[in-house]
A and B are shown apart, each in its own frame.
Chain A
Amino acid sequence: GAGVSQSPSNKVTEKGKDVELRCDPISGHTALYWYRQSLGQGLEFLIYFQGNSAPDKSGLPSDRFSAERTGGSVSTLTIQRTQQEDSAVYLCASSLGQGLMAEQYFGPGTRLTVT
């Protein structure tokens, strides 16, 4: 079946602009995660959605970052007023259930470059 898909694959934007990154999880997966991968910080957790519960936003680095998950499926990560330090690969993952041992399946990522 189809895996996790993300779009766009690459995004170049000017400092100060807003960007939206999209994630389509595996059908039927109730949990969805956003991470980012950057040279300086490695792989960092950003936000987690589980079903209809309130999201865990504890990893968002600033209030310029927000995310939504509509209908328990597609998610959009929005970065407002982008800064150069936001340049990174943004990864989305989904899992079936929320147990500690649940395997997370990762998408190919969106490479964001802020100029």
Chain B
Amino acid sequence: GNSVTQMEGPVTLSEEAFLTINCTYTATGYPSLFWYVQYPGEGLQLLLKATKADDKGSNKGFEATYRKETTSFHLEKGSVQVSDSAVYFCALTAGSARQLTFGSGTQLTVLP
């Protein structure tokens, strides 16, 4: 079956620090990969996605590259802001399943 393993949180960083949240996956067939973000008091929203190997998804300064050889999709940002404080979820769709399979989520807190 499909599964996503995500870096355990919580993660606390100072403003302007470099961020990496690790994500690896197991999937049937060729998955599409996503990062969703949940800001405090808000619903889940798509942050970025990649649909084939070596694709790089990017948005709001965040990036993630689809690495088929290591089955990974790590999220990175060069300089985090306080406003990036949120819970980040790695997810995939694969095979005949159209539903998202999520990782456990990583709580990020950025301190001023």
Q: Which residues of A contact B (CB under 8 A)?
A: 4, 31, 33, 35, 42-45, 48, 50, 56, 59, 91, 93, 98, 100-109
Chain A: CB-nearest residue to B52: A101
Knowing A91-B44, A100-B32, A101-B32 are in contact, say whether A59-B105 is a contact too (CB < 8 A): no
B43 beta carbon closer than 8 Å to chain A: yes
Question: Cβ of A44: which chain B residues have Cβ within 8 Å of it?
Answer: 102
B77 beta carbon closer than 8 Å to chain A: no
Chain A: CB-nearest residue to B103: A42
Count CB-based A-B contacts (< 8 Å): 56
Give the docked Cα–Cα distance between A48 and B103 (Å): 19
Q: Which residues of B contact A (CB under 8 A)?
A: 31-32, 36, 42-46, 49, 51, 89, 91, 93-94, 97-105
A-B pairs with lowest CB-CB distance, top 3: A43-B102, A45-B99, A106-B44
Give the docked Cα–Cα distance between A59 and B99 (Å): 10
